[in-house]
Amino acid sequence: MRVTPLTGRFGADVTDIDLSVPLAPDDLVSLRAAFLEHSVLAIRDQDLSIEAFEDFALQLGEFGDTPYITPVDGHPNVLRLLRESDEAGPLFGSGWHSDWSFQTQPPSATLLFGIDIPPAGGDTAFTQQEAAYDALSDGMKALLSDLHGVHSARRSYGPKGTFGQQDDRRSMEIVGDETALETRTHPLVRTHPETGRKSLFINEVYTVGIAGLHESEATPILNFLFNHCRRIDFTCRVRWQKGTLTIWDNRCVQHYAIDDYFGYRREMMRITLAGDTPA
């Protein structure tokens, strides 16, 4: 297995590994170590059936819960992310976010596998939230240390959300409902359960307020953090190829699906892995 950093800060390409068969124990240990070190791994040149994709995911952890989106028939933990060449509605995954941060136990990781990939465009951008936290002043770190963000799916999957209404033009079957109006609170600064590193845990898609603060008080803090989080020196991009499987750590990165491939079809498979309660 060869690991090649994507940037000087985080992210890596991984080659010379075959995920279509169970990994040897030593290879699995090495892959886990690379994941914790780099936060984003783009594993290239894979040929995976949906069953092999599931089997590999289960070597890393248990399946996470995926609401609002109809999974692949017969595979309740796998989503088919499809966008046809003439589809022009809102892109699933756009906007900086950490997957399902509105859940009580958001997913630890997301696995995304490229099946049909445009010749250019459709990169996924990532931003490292440990780096974002480290770059804050001591005063700002102190201010945030006891604050909790309010997370909700309402902007995306609520009745008035981006994907809250049935849209027959959409290739993916996404069905929002009233449960998207519910809220959860998580620390604005969380500690990674495996590495012990601190990171910011907010995002502009799902973080809608700060517990105990009026909206007029919370909004300036959140807007500052949203802008700070996506500073260019905290980011990397994965350029997709057919057969690329990218894994990212939702506990310390945000991501953004770039919508710049109109006229081309794209199809991917996605699995999330169960996480723990942020602390």
pLDDT of residue 165: 79
Q: Which CATH class is domain 2-273?
A: alpha beta
How far is Cα 157 from Cα 227, in angstroms, rounded to an integer? Answer: 24
What does the CA dihedral 262, 268, 273, 278 come to, rounded to 10 degrees? Answer: 0
pLDDT of residue 178: 93
Is-catalytic flag, 214? no
The terminus-to-terminus CA distance of the chain in angstroms comes to 33
Residue 120, both tokens: 């250019």
Is-catalytic flag, 192? no
- Cα distances from 271 to residues 20, 129, 133, in angstroms, run 16, 22, 27
Provide the sign of the torsion angle of the four alpha carbons 152, 106, 126, 8, taken in this order. Answer: positive
pTM of the model: 0.97
> Is the pLDDT reported for residue 54 higher than 90?
yes
Neighbours of 142 (CB within 10 A): 10
Q: Which of 38, 83, 151, 255 is catalytic?
A: 255
User: Phi and psi at residue 166, in whole multiples of 5°?
Assistant: -60, 135
Closest to 64 measured CA to CA, from 26, 92, 93, 102: 102
Q: Which of 80, 97, 154, 266 is catalytic?
A: 97
| 3-class state of residue 72 by DSSP | strand
Is-catalytic flag, 99? yes
Alpha helices in the chain (DSSP H): 25-38, 50-60, 129-134, 138-144, 154-157, 215-229
56-66 per-position pLDDT tens digit: 999 999 999 99
Is-catalytic flag, 237? no
195-214 per-position pLDDT tens digit: 999 999 999 999 999 999 99
How far is Cα 108 from Cα 15, in angstroms, rounded to an integer? Answer: 23
156-176 per-position pLDDT tens digit: 999 989 898 777 778 999 988
User: Phi and psi at residue 228, in whole multiples of 5°?
Assistant: -65, -40
81-121 per-position pLDDT tens digit: 999 999 988 889 889 999 999 999 999 999 999 999 999 99
How far is Cα 238 from Cα 245, in angstroms, rounded to an integer? Answer: 10
Q: Which of 99, 190, 251, 266 is catalytic?
A: 99
Q: What is the mean pLDDT of the chain?
A: 96
- Overall average pLDDT of the 219-229 stretch: 98
Counting every residue, how long is the chain? 279
Domain segments of the chain: what residues? 2-273
Residue 88, both tokens: 């022009």
